[in-house]
Amino acid sequence: MKPNSSFIAALVAASVGLTAIAQITQAGTTTLTTSEVSQSGEVRQSSIKIPANGTHILDGVHGARLALFDGNLDMAKEMISGASDQFDDHAAKFAIKLAENDGYAIPVDSGIQFAEGFEPDETHGAAIEEAGAHIRSGDVDSAVTAMTGAGIDLDIRLVVLPVETAAANLKQALADIERGEIHKANMALKAVETSIVIEDYKPGALPAQGYPLTEILQG
């Protein structure tokens, strides 16, 4: 059955909220929770925890680039060093492995969206409306459960910062500043910002988190 125009409008409004990446953490950690799925006696991981470290790293990189632009090299070096210090044991507790042995990454942000190619119709309207209410109250777990229970195909979208690449570029930026190669330092910092990766997962099939710091820094 073809959706009517009012349904489409409501669906678009709901999906905008559902596909928007969840708020970036400002302190501590946040959790994107999905329903646990038991399969062959195994309960899969049901939550993604996001440390503030990734946000602090990106904020430090942005601030350092501004400081370089203003010619304040001491401040730039201080901010780069501070960003590098965010690769610590706390961040390692939340690290995930990237696909195809591409090393490790720190989650920075997360959200949910309709799976590519999935087209909801009127039969999904009630579940989407219910999920929207759960999202607004901050209960992502119930939102995912409501939609998957109604046959809605979802993806969990995770924004991550690759550890090895970011750490190497921060180290390079400091070395470039020491040599007076400010343009190269800026490019190294920009490379940190552009190294962000978006990973998609299915509810109930989220990646494991937590690896030794020595392991993730060595890639």
Q: How many residues does the chain have?
A: 219
What pLDDT is recorded for position 174?
97
What pLDDT is recorded for position 218?
74
pTM of the shown model? 0.72
Which H or E run contains 50? Answer: strand 47-51
What pLDDT is recorded for position 180?
95
> Domains of the chain: which residue ranges?
5-217
What pLDDT is recorded for position 47?
59
Angle between helices 73-85 and 53-69 (to 10 degrees): 170
**Exposed e or buried b per residue across 126-156, where buried means at least 16 C-beta atoms within 10 angstroms of its C-beta:** ebbebbbebbeeeebbbbbbbbbebebebbb
Q: Give the whole-angstrom CA distance, residue 98 versus residue 158.
A: 11
Average pLDDT by stretches of 10, the chain with 219 residues: 41 42 33 38 52 94 96 96 95 89 87 82 86 80 84 86 95 97 97 91 85 84
What pLDDT is recorded for position 3?
41
